[in-house]
Structure 1
């Protein structure tokens, strides 16, 4: 990629040179560089300031690494200024209006990245400087630069980032060299998109300030992560594991696989936690919401494992262990018909409901024995018989364990999915450029 940049820059320079004889250009070069020193600021009045216009072209962003806090970009920066020592009259040199000279032979600004991963100077000795007759100089530099960015990872993988590339003239104070950005801030017409990050090409802005007493230009931009890959490889599998956590309460206790099943699910969530940590920077603030999401599912899984073990202890109790009314109430609660089927409550023959038939039979039997019985006495006797049936209901410890499993299954479904949906919706909806710093 760096070779393409060099070829592009060379093409710009060569294409701008007008056709003149070799001697014309050689004589002009000799004239210009006589008594010229590339180490001195090209101003007749050395107390003045040199203004440099910058225009940047972005052609690639091949790598974005939040773990290192670094962004790799391919850029070209064209610098234009007026060199008062490199001017001539075209008629004196066979109407030669421009000439290109190696950058090491003339003064060029040492453009440097002020937020680099490693020190980067956008200048090499082989590059050419295009010089016009009126002293206007155009110098295009470029390459692949690595610069740092403070990533705000709270809403990973739905995060949006605001980053900046900072440039300054190394070694020249603001009183000697200043920057300006005429026209478009950054040209993105040849930009090649990154597969993981969406770059908002219209978000480029610039600010000119100072750093260590030198003029600095800050190119800020915005980008958002394309989260579809992480939705398919992280979010959906974790949701599937959450569903498996609920299903542990449907496994028969006699199978002997409940505890091993729960431990396997717990280890799977721990693996996802490790994989996610590898994609995040190692800083404590802020804690990514996805971490809370995975840890919450891990806590639910551990809770399910503990409940399964305790419930197995209840399942294997013997009849010698006394059963409290609380356990019986749990069984009756799960056996209760919350939405009764009316067709089953209807009598199969004539004469009304089953309770009515029962009342009539009791009334007839008592009528034969004692003549007539009051309706209140009949109702009391029916109630007494119903209570007797309830007290003689046969409830075992296995019934209690199965009832607890049924309650825990529905509770885990609610506990797993409702908070998970809330966390994911919050992470995707709350992420905004305004929250990053």
Structure 2
């Protein structure tokens, strides 16, 4: 496409030949735009050249020593303002007691050795210098998993004409935290990140936190933990005679995954323990069935132990819950074995009244037998009081037993089946009621526990 060039108030405009017809309104618009862009460009450049900045850098660093505190009075103290940004928390390892977090920390202070008059350097208001060439705070994590210093030689330090210096450091760091696992997997944790200037005592370097404690505007959510972004607090104290800033925060575990993969299966396996008493004794599978359930609970106990810290204090309630189900399962296995011995007992073995009472109780005849015993005792008492001959008491004896169940024929198999029935209901109560109570208590009682650093 061919173009025709128009120069309008020092603004060059390229227009196609086919669009030569430009009215006065368009010409005025192009003129105003050109003047506006020219003004912005001139105001931004301010005639600062490479030589201007290079000369300023040379002047500033000529007698500058990066190893010395940037104060004219070396007996004074330097105050540093800290502003922290948290942008991610990729991993929380509660077994090792470690948190991996991505942070950026902006440090601001006044370097009294790096000041100049902008007019003497062609209006230069600021300069950027490598951190290895000027003094920077040796910011260090005081509760790290491994020694961590937030400082790199290639990063830039922004310095203004009045000496105000800004230095941003950061990265993915790993620091320690004491996890309180009593209410796992419904636990809530309170942790802290501690920073201090390595090698500088409190009378030389101090910290302060102005404005917002922590900026979480660009934070990326963690899939397992909910970080309460409004819970960040700070405290300035000392460690080893050096100023320290402690950023404390709260986070809660998202327990949906563990509910589906641990708690629900454990409850299901616990429910299967009750069904062992409904299997027929002739099947020959009752013992193997109970052992399989017991081994399944043992596997879940092992898996859960791998997810917990090894300090053992305090013991998570969920571990006690699994252990309780395991004990109930072992008790069920013992009852099954003992009951099978009763089931296959020969009829030559005499049967005690206790076993007959179990059968009557399981069939609902216990109450009727009790009423019959009370009726028979009243009839005997009336007969004794009315029968007296020649001052001698004659007792009336009934040749017929009023209780037809006294001589009923009960077999050992019936006793075994009655015991199975009672144990089934007993196991249902022993399995579900404690489970409901423990799970409700674990979820409701969980709260943030602050541990001392």
TM-score scaled to structure 2, two decimals? 0.82
Partner of 1:316: 344
**Is the counterpart of residue 176 in structure 1 residue 176 in structure 2?**
no
**Is the counterpart of residue 298 in structure 1 residue 313 in structure 2?**
no
Alignment of 1:12-411 (within 5 A): 20-336=48-364, 384=400, 386-387=402-403, 389-411=404-426
Identify which of structures 1 and 2 has the higher relative contact order when contacts are C-alpha pairs closer than 8 Å and 6+ apart.
Answer: 1
Cα pair distance change 1:17/1:435, threshold 3 Å: farther
Task: Report deviation, 1:44.
Answer: 0.4
Partner of 1:412: 427
Give the count of matched residue pairs: 381
8 Å Cα contact 2:47-2:122 kept in structure 1: no
TM-score scaled to structure 1, two decimals? 0.85
Task: Report deviation, 1:20.
Answer: 2.5
Cα pair distance change 1:19/1:165, threshold 3 Å: farther
Runs of 4+ residues deviating >2 angstroms: 16-20, 337-340, 383-386, 434-437
Cα pair distance change 1:164/1:17, threshold 3 Å: farther
Query: Alpha-carbon deviations, 1:335-373, whole Å to 9, x = none?
Result: 116999xxxxxxxxxxxxxxxxxxxxxxxxxxxxxxxxx
CA RMSD of aligned residues (A): 1.8
Query: Alpha-carbon deviations, 1:360-389, whole Å to 9, x = none?
Result: xxxxxxxxxxxxxxxxxxxx98x94652x3
8 Å Cα contact 1:113-1:120 kept in structure 2: yes
CA distance in 1, matches of 2:355, 2:166: 88
Cα pair distance change 1:205/1:406, threshold 3 Å: same
For the residue of structure 1 that corresponds to 2:90, the secondary structure is strand
Task: Report deviation, 1:420.
Answer: 1.2
8 Å Cα contact 1:88-1:133 kept in structure 2: yes
8 Å Cα contact 2:110-2:163 kept in structure 1: yes
For the residue of structure 1 that corresponds to 2:92, the secondary structure is strand
For the residue of structure 2 that corresponds to 1:281, the secondary structure is coil
Cα pair distance change 1:254/1:19, threshold 3 Å: farther
Task: Report deviation, 1:119.
Answer: 0.5
For the residue of structure 2 that corresponds to 1:198, the secondary structure is strand
The structure with the larger Rg is: 2
Cα pair distance change 1:216/1:393, threshold 3 Å: same
